[in-house]
Structure 1
């Protein structure tokens, strides 16, 4: 009997080993070589370090489960590869995923991202907004030359919103589609804020990803995939591949199946646990600088403490990018390309009027407190509060703005040439619910969902 059991088990293992997916044959040769002096993808990032990056290459099998196919994304702290799950059985459908491979010196940030997304997944999966957030499916570690690399597994998505825009005339997504996307994104933010108590803190076109029209796009993409261009890094001898993330033309008949999802929670913050570290016991507020330069909320710049309403401001400013492929704020950067908070505030004053005294009083009060840990700003200076970080103060003792010469002659009403006249009043009414100096006056994501601007034909 023991022999029969051994025979049965051996036969079963053999059957399953043959039933596993075999490796795909990828183009064997690299594409045309990239000149050594030419910067490629992550090399454009000032804090990129090739020595700490994982030397991923097409065809490689990671964790005995994923075959790397093509690089589809990059950043200073990671690269993203389209990968195929070869652990699936032969009769199961293909499963392609996006594999985010972090640098070896980025373990803490990767764990933070994984923990935030695990928290999001566990709150209320039945909420309709949960499906609008692209969260990690799995994670594991691989060993590289310089240490361990955290790998985060995600649903494969078609492209970020800024690439989708390029597929339309004048980079303008038709308004009915754009309204539907805005609605979906607000549903996702509602879940993130109301159920998860999480502030995203980094809303931008690159962090809004669009799903595929159908499942065949991915396999067709791989079949027609040409060798990736690459170069050898002179210091680390690591091969750097050029990103290939164009999945081809849209199928207009299937565009109704393409859903936007909010991605990348690496800079997100949980506010579900009251903290006393900011000197305001019981207040659920963040204190450190957040958000991309163009979308930074006034309470962040002024150091008043921030919560979920910072995301609402961020989203309101982002609507100019979504609907018009343009920035609302035109003077955020100085002549050297560095963020200039005083110029940014000057433009806010032009568009919204002067800030209320209560907000400036909060700013003065918070400026007297030091952060628990100092933070280095863009100039490399160690800062103890927001005033130091953003080179304030910006208002004098009488609450008058110190830089009136920087206030441009602009109004919010004249920033929407991308909309037809019949749509402008409703749009301005919509964004004025988000772009207010006082965070408490901004509507929640749930309240914004019901605004008339989002009604098709209304």
Structure 2
């Protein structure tokens, strides 16, 4: 069934260049996130969408032996019902014409999703342009920075677990409206330095076995395993982050933390799989009847807003 949640190629044509014809889908999950601002998406939709993403990854990983390598909101497309899709196409065409005539300024597609019923939407994994076989990785540097797995940051070998790490980052962003890791370069350290530091702050010390399995470990770490260019850390567990910064209750934070942490396991071989994620009770637990904004906190307290100096 996982094939149903990956973008399908309808046909291909060759003229002066190759043309690929795909099924018609709506805008990306990024557009939907923008339409909801910083409050995140309704939990029932998040769970439904994650089930579909994980089913799609299960198909890619197990049946196709493919690593997607770039799971992020931009590469998850919305599946709309026929009526919503037709209205979206009409509105987009009218909007484009108005821009061409100089009547309106360019806007974002998110504004045109307001009329759609979110619980009628499905999602599909798209953009396999940088995907690779599990037995033949193409590049050492994969994934968009905020969704990049630790092993990729450290230049270690990677496989399907890298997609699971990215999916954990995606899940957090869907429920909070903010990136789990949003690294920033400073005067004396790189964006990668900050990224590794933020991972340690959230998930704890990286085992020396992982650090020193990398031939170029001295790029980030001292011989004692400490970060070279960032000495001051601000530790905060995922559980406490959800409660303190996003105002979740312990009954909301504990199950989601239980779902997410195995996806962020430092050792790729020990990291959970798409199959196991689909079996986690958090995904199938019915959400209480609460408004969407009850799961969002004060945006000024976001975990990623502070900037190291």
Cα RMSD for the two superposed structures: 2.8
* Number of the residue aligned with 1:109: none
Match of 1:201 among 61, 69, 83: 69
More strand by share: 1
The correspondence of residues 288-307 of structure 1 with structure 2, limited to 5 A, is: 288-307=140-159
User: Is 2:196 the counterpart of 1:333?
Assistant: no
* Number of the residue aligned with 1:402: 228
Match of 2:8 among 97, 117, 135: 135
- Cα distance, 1:131–1:315 mapped onto 2, change above 3 Å: same
The correspondence of residues 260-279 of structure 1 with structure 2, limited to 5 A, is: 260-272=123-135
Rounded Cα–Cα distance in structure 2 between residues aligned with 1:136 and 1:418: 43
Cα distance per residue 1:285-322 (max 9 Å; x no partner) = 66511011111111112122101001111111221211
User: Is 2:52 the counterpart of 1:184?
Assistant: yes
8 Å Cα contact 1:343-1:407 kept in structure 2: no
Rounded Cα–Cα distance in structure 1 between residues aligned with 2:116 and 2:286: 24
Match of 1:258 among 116, 121, 126: 121
Rounded Cα–Cα distance in structure 2 between residues aligned with 1:230 and 1:339: 41
For structure 2, the 5+ residue unaligned runs are 288-309
Bigger relative CO (Cα 8 Å, ≥ 6 apart):
2
Rounded Cα–Cα distance in structure 2 between residues aligned with 1:328 and 1:420: 19
8 Å Cα contact 1:328-1:415 kept in structure 2: no
Cα distance per residue 1:415-437 (max 9 Å; x no partner) = 32164432100111111111121
8 Å Cα contact 1:346-1:408 kept in structure 2: no
User: Is 2:147 the counterpart of 1:315?
Assistant: no
For structure 1, the 5+ residue unaligned runs are 1-127, 232-240, 274-284, 368-386
SS at structure 2 position matched to 1:430 = helix
8 Å Cα contact 2:80-2:120 kept in structure 1: yes
* Number of the residue aligned with 1:249: 114
* Number of the residue aligned with 2:99: 229
Per-residue deviation, 1:242: 5.9
Rounded Cα–Cα distance in structure 2 between residues aligned with 1:341 and 1:412: 20
SS at structure 1 position matched to 2:275 = helix
- Cα distance, 1:354–1:211 mapped onto 2, change above 3 Å: same
Report the number of matched residues: 276
SS at structure 2 position matched to 1:140 = strand
SS at structure 2 position matched to 1:139 = strand
* Number of the residue aligned with 1:454: 283
Per-residue deviation, 1:405: 1.8
Per-residue deviation, 1:206: 0.8
Rounded Cα–Cα distance in structure 2 between residues aligned with 1:250 and 1:456: 28
SS at structure 2 position matched to 1:229 = helix
8 Å Cα contact 1:157-1:211 kept in structure 2: yes
The two structures have a TM-score, normalised by structure 2, of: 0.79
More helix by share: 2
8 Å Cα contact 2:78-2:122 kept in structure 1: yes
- Cα distance, 1:169–1:359 mapped onto 2, change above 3 Å: closer
Per-residue deviation, 1:396: 2.2
Rounded Cα–Cα distance in structure 2 between residues aligned with 1:267 and 1:247: 29
